[in-house]
Structures are given as structure tokens and as C-alpha cells.
Chain A
Amino acid sequence: MKKTNILILFMFVIFFSFNIPISAEPMEMIPIDEIALINSIPTKTNSIANITFDSNIGIDNIENSNYKINLKNLKNETAQITIRLNWQIKPQNITATINNAPINIIKESEYYNNVRYKIQTNILPENEKTIDLSYTILKIPNQWNLGLWALDYNYNSPININFDYNTNEYPNTKITYTGNINFDYPPYKPTCNNCIYENNNVKITDTNYFYINWQKQRTPIRAMSVYLIMVFAIIYGLIKKRNIN
């Protein structure tokens, strides 16, 4: 008996000795060239993008969005603007105009989970331009957490703006979002980052980043039907066995 206990204790010691966490070594400090850092940080804002938008998410999860992108080039140099649009799936339709004149939308990729378009334009020195962008897209749920009773959705801006100048100086762009997102159904458990949710409506005011999560409730009719059949079969089996015994 005593020998067995010693053996068990010995086994435990061996087992836990393999599980002792090894503390990580302190991180190596990388010296930063202070002068290079100071030179790379722009001293003042040289481009501004004011984005105003109005989105509607229908009961069928179709999102209709109208964006107005106001771009200001404050530098004394022509700016090359690239507006990148990223989605998970292909939008049903998309149009972009400058002063009601349509502009070309370049398709970069149209693969599932990686749909990328871009719009390119130039802005003269110390000038501004407004791009109207509207699109219709099917909102798809987050695909690695598929609830059967509620599907998770999220909304963030698909727009990414780059100002490029011929000089190698890093452009300091200030991007602000102001807009409204209206839901045709009451979103379940909405969470808002840099925005206010009220009465099926989300308000975003003067922020450089926003993110909205919500759920849409559903009823798993097919899965529940099969489950109820299984439960009734088990209950029937139990009653039958009980009567036999």
C-alpha cells in the first residue's frame, strides 16, 4: 500500500515537472534612432478626409449606403488619392461620382472573403474634391461563430484613404466619420464603439474610427424539429422499457 502511494506521488511529480511553465526571457530592447523618428513624424496635418454617410440595413440584410467623401489637400503639391474599398463579398451594385460625373472603379480582387476595389484621383495643391459613393451589399454574418438562434453581424467602414505625394514625406491625414446607420429590425445585443445606439439607429459623430456589433435573432426550425424528434424517441423508449420491466 505504501509502495503504491509512493509510486503515485512519483508519477505526479514527473507529470507536473513537464507542465512547469518556463518564464519568458525579458524582451530585447531595440534602440530607436531618435533623429529618424523625429524626422518621420509630420509636424502638421497636410490632408483631411471628412466622410459623411447614411446607411440602411434592411430586414433582408441588404445594406444600402451613401457616402460623401470630402478630400482636402492642404499641401502646396498635387496629391494622388487612392480610396480602397474592402468587403467580404461582392457588392450588388456600386457607383462613384465626382460632381455627378461617374468615375472609374478599379477591381483589384473579387474572391470570396477578399473583395477589393479602388478609386484613384488627383487633387490639385490646396484644393478639395468631393466623391459620392453609393453601394448595395448583402450583410453576411461572422462566419466562425454561427449561432443557431442569433447570427452575429458587424459594421465598420469599408473605406481606406491614402494620400500620396511626390516628396517622400509621410503624409499626415486626418480622417473623420459622421453618419447614421438605420436598422429596419431591432438589432439584438448591439454594441457600439465610438458611436451612440438609440431606437434602431446608430449615430457616429466626428470620430476617426467606429465599429458596431449586433445580432439578428432567428429560429432554427429544421434543427429543432430533428431535436424534438430525438427527444420524443428517447422519451418513448424510456416509457416502453419501463412498461416491459
Chain B
Amino acid sequence: MLKFLKNLKEDKYIKIAAILLFAAFFLGYTMRVLDFTKSPALSSIGVIYPIHQESYPHYMNSMIGYESSSSMRGGYDQISESPIDFLYVARNNIVSSVLIVFTGVLFAIPSIIFTFLTGLTAGQSIPEVLEFANGIIAAKTIFLFISYAFAIILATSIGIELGIALFKFIKEKKLQLKKTIYDKALLLIIITILNIILQYLLLVI
């Protein structure tokens, strides 16, 4: 287990994915905190960054001074026009992971773009939540973003590795995949399931 974690730490694809996500996050955060953009526009693509949608009604209510009532809390995602329930949380987490992993077959370019957009959107959303939500909601959102970021980094690293392996296969007529990719895939499944449970417990119930 320790060896597996050590291998993960030294995996260059994970490093690339983490740098990509953080760079996009920092860019998004800078744009939002300096009012270059005034709304996290990309969050309308709920699949890419679902957490913002779920936190949105909460912090809006706390900002305008409404008492949080069950009728107004969460409940409904106005952009995708669907109720925020278990299916919503599961769908968003599974689709985003599967999307990033399997668009890797297009030479990893879509995987990289989706990860960048996720980072950018998250970077634009977090300052809003920090500013307008109360402490508990802000802490919950940041905690959920960190757990979501783990899944995204793993998915991107698999996607990039898959894309590069496919590129090499075309070039050298030899398909080579490292053993760690299977470990990473298993870990991604576990983290995605944990994320669904965590998001369901902390945001829906």
C-alpha cells in the first residue's frame, strides 16, 4: 500500500494533472478576486464543476439575510433544471470522471481542456463562497472541492497516460500501459464513490 502511494507521488502524469489544475485554479481565483469576471460563468456547465451549483442557493440566502428555510435550501439546480438529489450528485461526479478519462483517447487534448476548465471554474467559485457564505458552508465547499480535485487529478493523469499510450501505439505499433494505470483507475473509482457519498451527506441531506 505504501509502495503504491509512493509510486503515485512519483507519477509524472499525476504531477502534470496537479500542476494543470492548480494553474487553472489560480488563474480563475485571480480573475474573480480582482473582479475581472463577476460571475463564475463556466459553472453553468454543471458536469464540469458540480459543487458550485449546490452551494449557490446556500450562500445566496445567507447573503441576503434570509433565514435558511427548507423550501429555499439547495433543492433545485436552476441551470440544469433538475432537483439536487442523489442522482444529481452521482451523475455529475461519474460523468465528469468518465469524461476526463475516456476523452484521453483523443490524444489527451479534451482531458486537459476539461481539467483546465474545472480548475478555472473552481477558482472563480471559491472566492464567492468564501465571501458570501457563512463559515460552515465555506468550509464544506472547500473540503468537497479538495476531495473532488483528487478525483479530477487522477482522472486527468489516466486520460493523459491513455492519450500518450495511444499516440505511441500509432507511432511505434506497440501498445504499452504501465501497471500503475490500473491502480489509479481503481483508486479513482473508490474516490468517486466516496465523493458521491460525501457530497450527498454534506450537501443534500
Report the Cα distance A146→B198, complex, angstroms.
28
Given contacts A145-B39, A147-B38, A220-B33, contact A226 B26 (CB under 8 A): no
Given contacts A112-B66, A112-B72, A145-B39, contact A227 B33 (CB under 8 A): yes
Residues of chain A in range 121-173 having any CB-CB distance to chain B below 8 Å: 138, 140, 143-150
With a CB–CB cut-off of 8 A, which chain A residues contact B61? 112
Given contacts A145-B39, A147-B38, contact A223 B127 (CB under 8 A): yes
Contact with A along B86-116 (1 / 0, CB 8 A): 0000000000000000000000000000000
Q: In angstroms, how far is the closest chain B Cβ from the Cβ of A234?
A: 8
Task: Indicate if the CB atoms of B131 and A223 lie closer than 8 Å.
Answer: yes
Report the Cα distance A150→B131, complex, angstroms.
12
Report the Cα distance A230→B25, complex, angstroms.
11
Task: Indicate if the CB atoms of B26 and A230 lie closer than 8 Å.
Answer: yes
Task: Indicate if the CB atoms of A220 and B72 lie closer than 8 Å.
Answer: no
Report the Cα distance A227→B36, complex, angstroms.
15
Q: Is A89 an interface residue (CB 8 A)?
A: yes
Q: In angstroms, how far is the closest chain B Cβ from the Cβ of A156?
A: 18
Report the Cα distance A144→B39, complex, angstroms.
7
Q: Is chain A's binding surface mostly helix, strand, loop or mixed?
A: loop
Task: Indicate if the CB atoms of A224 and B39 lie closer than 8 Å.
Answer: no
Which one of A143, A145, A222, A223 lies within 8 Å of B60 (CB-CB)? A143
Residues of chain A in range 89-109 having any CB-CB distance to chain B below 8 Å: 89
| Size of the chain A interface, CB-CB below 8 angstroms | 20
With a CB–CB cut-off of 8 A, which chain B residues contact A140? 63-64
Q: In angstroms, how far is the closest chain B Cβ from the Cβ of A233?
A: 10
Task: Indicate if the CB atoms of B130 and A223 lie closer than 8 Å.
Answer: yes
Given contacts A112-B72, A223-B130, A223-B131, contact A145 B65 (CB under 8 A): no
Interface centre among A144, A148, A150 (most CB of B within 10 A): A148
Residues of chain B in range 59-76 having any CB-CB distance to chain A below 8 Å: 60-61, 63-66, 72
With a CB–CB cut-off of 8 A, which chain A residues contact B32? 148, 223
Q: Give the nearest-CB partner of B138 in chain A.
A: A222
Q: Is B35 an interface residue (CB 8 A)?
A: yes
Given contacts A143-B60, A220-B127, A222-B131, contact A148 B39 (CB under 8 A): no
Report the Cα distance A150→B126, complex, angstroms.
17
Report the Cα distance A230→B60, complex, angstroms.
26
Q: Is B49 an interface residue (CB 8 A)?
A: no
Interface centre among B29, B64, B132 (most CB of A within 10 A): B64
Report the Cα distance A214→B168, complex, angstroms.
58
Report the Cα distance A213→B50, complex, angstroms.
32
With a CB–CB cut-off of 8 A, which chain A residues contact B72? 112
Report the Cα distance A220→B33, complex, angstroms.
8
With a CB–CB cut-off of 8 A, which chain B residues contact A143? 60
Residues of chain A in range 36-82 having any CB-CB distance to chain B below 8 Å: none
Q: Is B54 an interface residue (CB 8 A)?
A: no
Interface, chain A (partner B; CB < 8 A) = 89, 112, 138, 140, 143-150, 220, 222-224, 226-227, 230, 234
Q: List 13 A-B contacts (CB under 8 A).
A: A89-B66, A112-B72, A140-B64, A145-B38, A146-B38, A147-B38, A149-B34, A150-B35, A223-B32, A223-B128, A227-B30, A227-B33, A234-B26
Beyond the given pairs A148-B33, A150-B35, A227-B30, 18 more chain A to chain B contacts, judged by CB atoms under 8 angstroms and listed by A's residue number, are A89-B64, A89-B66, A112-B61, A112-B66, A138-B65, A140-B63, A145-B39, A146-B38, A149-B34, A220-B33, A220-B130, A222-B131, A222-B138, A223-B128, A223-B130, A230-B26, A230-B29, A234-B26
